[in-house]
Structure 1
């Protein structure tokens, strides 16, 4: 039975990859084809030429795979001449001479040789040349680099995505010049700044680094034969010496290299690649055992890291975490540095809640500062942006905990007997903090430079909240009417541009919170008194203020449970964010004694009924109501946003919903106010007009209302007490608008409950001669529609009053 050794097989495989694809094989490909070549050799038996036959068989497999993956250009596949040139260029770095090209092309065309035969002949030929010949040096130099690249430490699956130079790049500049080999090796993953690459063995290793940047690799395989093995052992001693050194530790599914053991010192960067099993297991990585380490990174999976000293960064990379990522500072260490690179939460698993929420837990007896740097994994299409969910436990002597985060972060809390302040002023990411979420836990909070959101449960006079820089929002959970003491507590809060109220029933006096210009309400029954001209109000579905409440609740509970295990205490939430911010689609908003001009923003598919008071509660009149926002219907049967308003009290002389998306219903207008109504496009708006006895209609000639933006066939009018018909002036065209109304008053179409619809100067008018005098009067019903419409266009519905 024929056999072939591992090193010889590696050489053969590397040569095939170079010849067919012009690149080196990766570690997994090398391992697969080496094993495949050994199997093929065994299948050939002991006959003469068994190894050559195995080689040709594997060559055919590699060629077919390269074809299937598109790694051989189509022209090479199509003609033998191109194939010969391709092999020569890849193996020898040059084109064949004319005689050689013609000879080999003829051999292939006549089927005297197969393509696999040609590959073998060219490679065997160059291997048998004088080692100092140009062709031999070219091939052997490239082979040397390809074999280095194919090693585990240079191209295993854990690092492929991070390689600066791939399997083709690494050979791109390698030729017959020995210097090109050195240049290529400097491009390998394990390339060091003048240091060495040191690979641990299954035996006892006593390895000392150089003054350069050395790389130590603890592979889960025996480098001599590539069999699985633990190479970081109890009696190993690793000393990086000078330079900035790196130790790469790899585990495998069989559990190799999972025990933290041996002596490691003066190695600045520790990279742990967990594959199927986790280094150090549930006990956690003991950072103090890596003496002199400055960075400790876990990849793919992670356990906790303990005994973290000063100036050590604990890193997490390419991880889908199903529980909080945890680090514990050593006694006497006040500051923890935690770094993240492409970290996400495992969707639907563990204690994290939503896939975008990554739990992070920091602890330490003297811990007073936590720095969170880096970035989380990008959100999937349509998913919420990722966020860190952070909590900390510290000792009894610490009163202020600083959290400095570059990422969007929900700060659940930092717990300790004496903690009175959470200082996030050094943060640049957007922060979320829920003040009063935890029973009897209400520290002062200082926000950072991002756009922070603070949710307050039962805000009191003793509470201190500062949004910091950025565009910040303060959200108050409420149910009922606010008192003077409540307003005093609100006005103590600093650096919040937006103030939001969330609850079933909201009753607030905007004059008491005049320093807040942007007000938001999310509730069913909302009353806002004394809204000033400088204040705008947003009506919002609570879910838009804080989406994913169930995920947030689950994430908080999971993190608090882990914090409790860490500290020995118990932490309980005072309520459910999911309940507080549950979707609400119906809102009644009463604006009493509001300024003349009112701006309302609608966010979400809100069914909003707006009222603006009456009598003494009407406030200043004659201004503009401007409504923006809203939401289109997103599914069949869903009306999207709707807005209902009645201006019968004459609060506004102008109603502008041109920037509002959704259905608008104007139920009434005031006879004494010349209102201008501007409708939006694309939604079914409706306006109700009253046609009554003289002087009592909703729009009169003396204060005629004007409707702009009416869409024929989409919008509609309702006439209470009137029947509309079109008045055609025929050959008796009026010369002025007054003359047009005069003709309409003389027409039978406008008498009694009739409403004459006529055109003049590009606009449409509706008119009723209320007193039957046959002449127009200020007390007659009259409305202008900007644009030309037929009676049918107006979709008029008639109601008998």
Structure 2
């Protein structure tokens, strides 16, 4: 097992009573030596020889190590035991240091743990001054307050934030946050800046203002970029041609277009927060580097105003190494399908995308301009409704959310499962080409005008209704009523009066709209109803 930075830091604290310097800690970490070898090697260093000369007796040595590790002298028994072990050469001084730390309990362990935490933070902030490393450790004890105070001092010594000058920031192994101002008169994110997040899960926070230039800066090893606008009506353009290894981008408080241009690496996720009603927000991603091992882009739309649309474009590239899946989260957005002002996401130039998955708690409008290869749109995990017009020209499996969906099918071979809720499903493919609507569970459609699905454009003998778990419709379980029903409620009442008994499906015609009533459990009562707008004829063969 590889020796950890924590193990090495504990040896620094125990041996020198100081935080490790960044260069020293990284040197020993990269050696891949066992912790016993590292501790032994410390005694070959001039710093150790000066602190613990060969003329120092073992009693004095044990007292020094106890004070380094625990901030107090050893008790009589401990001093006698460890001095005796060293006198008898039963243990080396380097291994005795490890043993004391590993055996710490109670308050002593809390002190050592706190010193180790502070030491790691010191090295992680890329500090190398040994005198300051000693001073910082002098105030650390068993309390959390001492840790906080030490870290505050470290923060004053190491500033990773951007300045108006040309910056070169190299962070360490911690989860660092770097801040700056961009696109403003007082901007600190400027051309020539170089930001390297190093190891850890790092974040670069840029506040977008007004009046500045669009710089070209070098950013790498930063896992998350957060862009927050001070002016939600401003059109921001960010050139990120020199960004590498950025996985996530978060855009907040911009109503006008935000353009992320020249991206030449793979995003894992895009987070768009706080779009206003007039927003048209654009994020363009060049997908040339997407490869077969990672082909999914995660997109979150959060706290958007009604009618706000986030536009995410993936630049066309070759047919290899492209984004194939989107996973979209709709969270805390204001618009609704019923209000006809639902906020949404527009995926443009997505010719290579095959699947879109949607989840969250808010109604969502999905636009897929150019998504001719899409074969699946799955909102079955969306605890809200989906508004969608199909674009997959070879046929798409469309699964709605758990509430009202508004789905329009434009192409043959589309299969639609609206799920629960009073769905509006429009079939608009070229005539004489089959489109299928699936019902897998009783109650996917309600039994009232307000709760029943409404299907528009259904072609008898061409399109199909699939009741997978109920069995196919045939002359034995299909009932074609000769009576007219003026509403869902009327059709349900007729079915429940005994007309549907012995049948699974009952069709009730009307001028304009007709109704299909389903008794899935065989009790002679309606379990769900479907409105068939404009349909006057319906046959058993229309059910599969």
Question: TM-score, normalising length from structure 1?
Answer: 0.34
Higher relative contact order (CA 8 A, sep 6+): 2
Which structure has the larger Rg?
1
Q: Under a length normalisation based on structure 2, what TM-score does the superposition of the two structures give? A: 0.47
